Amino acid sequence: VAGRAPAAATRHPPARPRPRPEAAQPPSAEHLRQARAHPNPRRVTHPVDTDDVETCLDDAQRDAIDRELQRMPYRDHYDALRVASDASRDAIRTAYFSRAKTLHPDAFFGKQLGAYQQKMETIFQALTEAYEVLGKVRRRREYDEYLAVKRRTAAAAKGLVAGERRAEAVEGQGASAVRPEKGGGPSGDAARFARPAGVQPQRHGRSGASRERAKELFGRKLAAATGRDPSGVHQAPSAPHRPPRRPRPEAPAPSEPAPAAGRGEMLRDLTRSLRDAAGMTGGVDVAQRTLTEARRFERDGDLVEAANRLRLAIALAPEREDVEREYERVRGRLAVSLADDYAKQAAYEESREQWSAAALSWAMVADGRPDDPEPPRRAAVCLLKAKSDLHQARAYAEEAVVLAPSSAEARVVLARVFLEAGMRLNARRELAVASTLDPSNQEVANLILECEE
C-alpha cells in the first residue's frame, strides 16, 4: 500500500504474495444461492472473515465492506463500478475514483484496519480490473461481446433448470402437475454452473462416462475453483480407452430401505392410470400432447423449450423409449447450437486467467463437439491451472488422447496431469509416446527430465 516505509523490506524477507482468488476457500451455500440469482461469477472469491477484530471502522463501515466482498464474485465490471453499460469513459473514471475514496485502504492510512485491510485490498483489486477493462476501447468491446455470449448460455441453462424442476415435480405428483406455459416456466435458479440433475443426453461419439464428467464439472459451480487432494487418483492403464457406455438410469438410487424401492414404479403406475383415465373420459393424452408441443417448439427454433417439453413427456410416460430418444436428439442439437458461444466464452475466460470458469466452458463445448479433441484437452489444461480436481483433469485429458491418439500435445497434457498427481510411471509412458510422435518437442524433453529427478 502506498505510504508504507520501504525500509522494512531490508530487514525482513518479502511477504509471500497473497494467493490468487481461485485458491480461496469455497463459497458458502448462501454464496451459491446468490450465484444462481446473479449469473456473472468472477474469480475473486475471498471468504468474509467474521472474527471480531480491533479496527478503526464502525459497524456500518464493516458491514458495507463485508457486503461488497460477498457480492463481488457475482457482479460484472459495470455492476462493480455502479455504472450503466453505455457509460462514457469519463463516467467510468469518476465512478472508479469515487468508490476508491471509501474502499481503498489508503483512505484510512495510519489507522488500524485489522482483517479489513486485506478485504479492502481485494475489493480495490477488482475495482481496478473493472476500470482497466472498461476504460480501454478494445478491451471494453471484447468484454461486452463476452457478456453477450454469457447471457445467451446462461439463459439456456436457466431454461433447462426450470424445465427439469417441472419434470421432477410431475414425477412426484402425477399428471395433475402439468400446466405447460409458453416460455419455459418460472425463472428460478439460473446459470451455466447449475446443470439439471439427472439430465444425461446420450449422443453418438461420446461415452456415458464422459457425459457424466461434463455434468459433474458443470454442476460443481464455483467449487471447481478449489483444489482437491490428488492422492485419490488411481493408476491408469498405459493406453487410455473409452469407458463402456453406461445406460441412462431410470431413477436415482433409492435413499430409503426396501419400502422406498418401489416408489418409482408406483409413480409410473399412477401416471399411467391418470393417462388412461383421461382417454376414457374423452381427454387428450397429456404425454402425447406434450410431445406434439415439443415438435412445434423445435420447428420454431426454440430448442430449450423443445427439450423441456420432451423431458416432461418422459416424466409422464417413462416407458416410452421413443420419447427418450427424441429428448436425447434435441439435447444433442441444443449442445451443438451452444458450442460456438461456449468456445468464445472459454477463450475470453482463459485470456483473463479465469481457469475454473474456462474449464466449465470447455466442458460444455465438448458436449456439443463430441468428436473434437480440442475442448477436452483445453478443459484439462484449465483444471490443472486452476489447481482443481485431478480426477476431472485426467478424464478430459484421456478423452483428448482417445480422440487424437497421434497428438503429442494431448499426450503432454495427460502426462502433466499424472505428474501433478505424483504418478511418474504413467507420465513417463505418455511422454515416451509423445517423444516418438514429436522428437523435436522441447517441452517433452523437459518433462522427461522432470520424471527422472
pLDDT tens digits, one per residue of 374-419: 999 999 999 999 998 899 999 999 999 999 999 999 999 999 999 9
For 405-427, b/e burial (b = at least 16 CB within 10 A) is eebbbbbbbbbbbbbbbebbebb
Which region holds residue 32: left if phi is over 0, alpha if psi is between -120 and 50, else beta? alpha
Q: How many CB atoms lie within 10 A of CB 76?
A: 21
**Rounded distance, CA 250 to CA 196, Å?**
15
Cell of 289: 400432447
Q: Where are the beta strands (DSSP E) in 331-376?
A: none
8 Å CB contact between 77 and 130: yes
Q: Which of 450, 166, 114 is nearest to 312 (CA)?
A: 166
Cα angle vertex 120, ends 116, 124, to 5°? Answer: 175
Q: What's the pTM?
A: 0.64
Cell of 131: 476500470
Q: Look at residue 78 in the predicted model and tell me its pLDDT.
A: 93
Which region holds residue 220: left if phi is over 0, alpha if psi is between -120 and 50, else beta? alpha
Cell of 287: 404425454
91 Cβ contact partners less than 8 Å away, ≥ 6 residues apart = 83
**Rounded distance, CA 275 to CA 264, Å?**
17
8 Å CB contact between 416 and 384: yes
**Rounded distance, CA 388 to CA 396, Å?**
13
Domains of the chain: 8-12+19-135 (1.10.287.110), 140-222+262-341 (no CATH), 372-453 (1.25.40.10)
Cell of 201: 443426453
pLDDT tens digits, one per residue of 150-201: 999 999 999 999 999 998 888 876 544 445 444 444 333 333 323 333 333 3
Q: Look at residue 291 in the predicted model and tell me its pLDDT.
A: 87
Count of CA atoms in the C-beta half-sphere (13 A) of 271: 28
Question: Cα dist. 389→138, 200, 223 in Å?
Answer: 34, 21, 10
Which regions in the chain score pLDDT beneath 50?
A: 1-29, 31-53, 175-178, 180-207, 210-211, 213-215, 217-261, 274, 277-284
Q: Look at residue 91 in the predicted model and tell me its pLDDT.
A: 94
106 Cβ contact partners less than 8 Å away, ≥ 6 residues apart = 1, 2, 3
Q: Look at residue 1 in the predicted model and tell me its pLDDT.
A: 43
Task: Name the CA dihedral angle for 392, 69, 346, 386, rounded to a multiple of 10 degrees.
Answer: -30
